Amino acid sequence: MKNVTKAVIPAAGLGTRVLPATKAMPKGMLPIVDKPAIQYLVEEAVRSGITDILIILGRNQSIIEDHFDRAPELEEKLTAPGKEKMLEECLGISNMANIYFVRQKQTLGLGHAVSMAKAFTGEDPFVVIYGDDVIWGEDPVCAQLIRAYEEFGRPAAGVSAVPWADVSRYCSLKTTPIHDNYFFVDDMIEKPKKGQEFSNYSILGRVLLTPEIYDILAHTKPGAGGEIQLTDAMAEYARNYGGMTAVEFTGKHYDMGNKLKVAEAQVELALQHPEIGEAFRAYLKEFCKTL
């Protein structure tokens, strides 16, 4: 079994749910305290042992490339005394991993975006980190999926139980308990209509796939929303290639395409920030007195 050292981050979405902030800025660059959202995704991958990352971009998203590149003019300014920590942080961003970029010329769906990673991943297993989903926790979700892959030898999906009323916004998995937080999956459906649900377990932003997915994606037809859905390809894999493993992951999930969840991420991660956490907590206590 090959080690999992590659990750793919599809980040070409238009961010229509969080307009107008994303009119001229990719949603991956929405800040959470002092880091853009996409940096949290890259850091999670690195903490999980990933060394090579492909970020799939759309038009007018070169700012994401710039963020992970060196910035000589800025770095020179930060060589001044007293700015050593800022210089270290800036250099660290560009040195976290081997980061590559490819442009998705048409937004034809998550499945289409992942298919563009074939030359990058080759015959290796790889993690897909959905560009909308920041998950904060001590144990990176990518690492949780890698452990499941090492134990069971099949693709894995990070899942969570969502309210039944919300299942139609996500996908629904047909699950059978294995042990602890592991489930066997032999079918799934994207954005099910009422009565089509298998369960209220939905994939929330992380999957680990093997190269067989590319042959399936090559003949996957547009599904929900008229897009090529990765879920449809994974459903075929689950039904015909020996199933998948669902991992009910630990960690707090933030949907960066949801304005309320973006605000929650700002508040909750600010409270945990080593520089401003204590002061921000004191501010909130005082502010709440005025409500």
Alpha-carbon distances, residue 220 vs 110, 193, 236 (angstroms): 12, 20, 9
**Local structure of 205: helix, strand or coil:** strand
Rounded Cα–Cα distance for residues 35 and 63 (Å):
14
- On the CB side of 20, how many CA atoms lie within 13 Å of its CA? 0
Please report which helix (H) or strand (E) contains residue 176, including its range.
strand 171-179
* Beta pairing, strands 252-255 & 133-136: antiparallel
Q: Of all residues in the chain, what percent are helix, strand and coil, respectively (each to 5)?
A: 40, 25, 35
- Spell out the CATH class of 6-257: alpha beta
Q: How far is the C-alpha of 254 from the C-alpha of 197, rounded, in Å?
A: 23
Q: Where are the domains of the chain?
A: 6-257, 258-290
Half-sphere exposure of 114 (CA within 13 A, CB side): 34
pLDDT by 10s per residue, the chain, length 291: 789 999 999 998 888 898 898 888 899 999 999 999 999 999 999 999 999 999 999 888 899 999 999 888 988 888 888 888 888 888 889 899 999 999 998 888 999 999 999 999 999 999 999 988 999 999 999 999 999 999 999 999 999 999 999 999 899 999 999 999 999 999 999 999 989 999 999 999 999 999 999 999 999 988 877 889 999 999 999 999 999 999 999 999 999 989 999 999 999 999 999 999 999 999 999 999 998
Predicted local confidence at residue 22, as pLDDT: 87
